[in-house]
Structure 1
Amino acid sequence: MNTNEPIAAIHNYIQAFNKGDGEGMAAMFAESGSILDGMAPHQWLGPRAAQDWYRDVLTEGQQQHASGYHVVFGEPLHNNITGDSAYLVLPATMTFKIHDRQVTQSGAFFTVALRKLADGWRIASWAWTKGAR
């Protein structure tokens, strides 16, 4: 996995999400990471933040009969790198199905803080801001 640039770590993370690969997502996450999302409980912290968030996504998906999550990004609106810290904001679109109906959530933003560690860039924190639905 190439993580020489912050954007590469983000793309690796979201490719793993799109494949349903929770371990791949966790591999791109810093140990002391945090997630802020519109889904309850809204905040996940610590070394299992990525795994716990993904578990909750799947649980809520079962309750809502949602499946087939897929996220694509536009070009970063912010791409600030200072030493071993980075801050990126990417416009995002998520598609998924509820029952058999395709849903598109456009106008979302994925805001990410990253840290450069010995083995490459890792996501330290991310927040998802919902768009239209």
Structure 2
Amino acid sequence: MGSAEPLAVVQQYIDGFNRGDVEQMAAAFADSAAILDGMAPHLWQGPTATRDWYRDVLTEGELHGASGYCVTLADPVHNNVTGDSAYVVVPATMTFTVKGTQMTQTGAFFTVALRKQADGWRIAAWAWTKGKQ
């Protein structure tokens, strides 16, 4: 799943999330990657981080009657590449339903650090900064 551009990898990851394709999400990740999110346990690390995080997203969603998650990214406010490292910060909007009611979270940011590997860019870490609902 390598890409010549870090931002393209970020979009590939989000596209996988929007389709519920955890394998596509995992393919965008470096084996030693980490996820920092507002949902407990807040930190996921290592080669199974994406799968573990997504499993926890679905479990949390079931507890609250939430489903149908979709993230839309705006133009990046940071898209910096220095050698084999990249830093991308993208404003994001997430829509989902809670017990049949459509919800929209605005003002969020998706912050991503990437590393260039032999086969292309991979996500080394990401953090979601929650916006307003």
Structure 2 match to 1:80: 80
Cα shift at 1:25: 0.3
CA contact (8 A) 2:89 2:111 kept: yes
Aligned residues: 133
CA contact (8 A) 2:69 2:97 kept: yes
Alpha-carbon deviations, 1:83-105, whole Å to 9, x = none? 11000100000000001100000
One-letter amino acid of the counterpart of residue 95, structure 1: T
Among all aligned residue pairs of Structure 1 and Structure 2, give the percentage whose two residues are the same amino acid: 65
Cα shift at 1:3: 1.1
Q: Output aligned runs, 1:48-63, within 5 Å.
A: 48-63=48-63
Listed as ranges, the gaps of 5+ residues in structure 1 are none
Cα shift at 1:2: 5.8
C-alpha distance in 1 between matches for 2:73 and 2:23: 21
Alpha-carbon deviations, 1:94-130, whole Å to 9, x = none? 0000011000000000000000111111100000000
C-alpha distance in 1 between matches for 2:16 and 2:88: 19
C-alpha distance in 2 between matches for 1:62 and 1:118: 39
Whether 1:95 and 2:120 are equivalent positions in the alignment is: no
C-alpha distance in 1 between matches for 2:69 and 2:85: 29
C-alpha distance in 2 between matches for 1:119 and 1:70: 28
Alpha-carbon deviations, 1:12-42, whole Å to 9, x = none? 0000000000111000000000000000000
Structure 1 match to 2:30: 30
C-alpha distance in 1 between matches for 2:58 and 2:84: 33
CA contact (8 A) 1:2 1:8 kept: no
Structure 1 match to 2:71: 71
Note the aligned Cα RMSD (angstroms): 0.8
CA contact (8 A) 1:9 1:122 kept: yes
Distance 1:98 1:10, change over 3 A: same
Cα shift at 1:65: 0.7
C-alpha distance in 2 between matches for 1:2 and 1:102: 34
C-alpha distance in 2 between matches for 1:57 and 1:36: 13
